[in-house]
Amino acid sequence: MLRISYEDMVKEFKRVLVKKGFDEKGAEDAASIFAQNSLAGVYSHGLNRFPRVVSYLEKGEINPDNKATCELAMGAFERWNGHRGFGPLNAKIAMDRACELAKQYGIGIVALGDNNHWMRGGSYGWQAADQGCIGICWSNTCPNMPAWGGVDKKIGNNPFIMAIPRSSGNHVVIDCAVSQFSYGKMEDCRLKGQQLPVPGGYDSNGNLTTDPAEIEKTWRVLPMGYWKGSGISIALDIIATVLTNGNSVQTIGTFGDEVGLTQIMIAIDPTKANSVELTDEIVDKIVADVKSSVPVKEGQEVYYPGELETKNILDNRKNGIPVVEEKWNEVLAM
């Protein structure tokens, strides 16, 4: 498999983004976000997603000059507007602000409306944890999943993230869509010629399948936990829309493309109640207990959330980031 250095990936992404209207700093920051996603092994929201975002820039649906601004400040809670700017940069601004509020009040909440796709939601969990904060965040999406018991797309596979800091940097981070698999993950498997490890949706005959291409055709992805994932999706969408007075999943579905999304950033500062050492002790003890699990297959390892990303970063820094040649060549030709 072709492997590309992190630095080369940033360089190519930046080159394209400057051509598409970003200033130098914005292009560097945005390019780094995409490359960091691939570096962490989340290829679906790094290189593989980059061409789609470029197409949105070309259609004028993302304005790289628009930055998120605060519309309402009420102590620990603020409402911000993303003005359809570049989603990842606006989301980063919002989580940084939530962390600032958490350092002041113990908790900070920034409700970000009318933003664009934030790429990998886990980025903002790691961002909060790197600042010593517990991070909780989510985004809604376009309607891309049936509600439980339905056939047509009514709800989003809204990504939900929770991050717990450790002073070592080996944070505990769960980043998941509320579908069994995100569309990005299914695209990644399809491009690699892989089946899903467990059924992720329905084929054109209405049967559960592990074939990502079949699920992409029907758009009938499976909510995680069946009715539970469906209910969580609906609740996340309602809370986000209420707090921002922004766009719901249903409204986003009328836009044609997945733009104008609604996101919530929550940061909690555990040092308001614990020392850093106490928090580390609590997290380390729980993680150690999980790691002591008897694996299903002898010789395998049980991982805590975020552990594989840490391993991927070390490996990909050393050996280069694996890329789908078709996608990499697409970027080189831009």
pLDDT of residue 132: 98
CA-to-CA distance for 23 and 99, rounded, in angstroms? Answer: 26
- Catalytic hit among 45, 83, 117, 171: 45
- pLDDT (tens digit, 9 = 90+) per residue, 109-125? 999 999 999 999 999 99
Amino acid identity for residue 238 in this structure? I
Amino acid identity for residue 231 in this structure? G
Res. 61: pLDDT tops 90: no
CA-to-CA distance for 3 and 9, rounded, in angstroms? Answer: 10
pLDDT of residue 185: 86
- pLDDT (tens digit, 9 = 90+) per residue, 157-187? 999 999 999 999 999 999 999 999 988 889 8
Q: Residue written as tokens 């055709």?
A: 217
- Any residues with CB less than 8 A from the CB of 30 and at least 6 apart, and which? 13, 14, 17, 22, 64, 86, 88, 89
DSSP annotation string for 283-316 = HHHHHHHHHTPPPSSTT-----TTHHHHHHHHHH
CA-to-CA distance for 177 and 160, rounded, in angstroms? Answer: 6
Res. 97: pLDDT tops 90: yes
Tally the residues of the chain. 334
pLDDT of residue 188: 85
3-state secondary structure of 13: helix
Nearest one of 180, 15, 45, 11 to 124, comparing CA atoms: 45
- Any residues with CB less than 8 A from the CB of 229 and at least 6 apart, and which? 148, 178, 179, 180, 222, 223
3-state secondary structure of 61: coil
**With 0-12 CB in 10 A as exposed, 13-18 as middle and 19+ as buried, what is 18?**
middle
Active site residue 45: yes
Cα 318 from chain centroid?
24
pLDDT of residue 161: 98
Amino acid identity for residue 157 in this structure? N
